[in-house]
Amino acid sequence: VQLQASGGGTVQAGGSLRLSCADSGRTFTTKAMGWFRQAPGKEREPVAVISYNGLSTFYADSVKGRFTISRDNAKNTIHLEMKRLEPEDTAIYYCAVDNTKGYIVARSTYYDTATGFGSWGQGTLVTVSS
């Protein structure tokens, strides 16, 4: 496993958390990377994706304006800053790399299936209480 996600925890609604994903293999600086999440009993869904150079991003409608994805290629990490958390944000959050692209795809449905993504980290649990 090359990606390690961390930073999850339990917070009250309205609170904040910062997730991190470390690339121990140091091989993904030319690839887009993203965060996905899976809530109990639900399908996995995309949260945010960032291009290889950090200049372009994709956000799911449900997190726009509340979450911010960033990356530091010098440290081989990406982050997900989550603010104004809601109970609906409760899920296991996974980071992954787009093995086929370094840029953001304009067609947002590409991220729904995450077909090109791999090297999934072990996930970190985020629980938001009401």
DSSP-derived pairing of the beta strands 57-59 and 124-129: unpaired
pLDDT per position as a tens digit, 41-57: 999 999 999 999 999 99
pLDDT per position as a tens digit, 78-90: 999 999 999 999 9
What mean pLDDT is predicted for residues 16-29?
87
Residue 1 has pLDDT above 70, yes or no: no
Rounded distance, CA 81 to CA 93, Å? Answer: 12
Counting every residue written for the chain, the total comes to 130
Rounded distance, CA 38 to CA 44, Å? Answer: 4
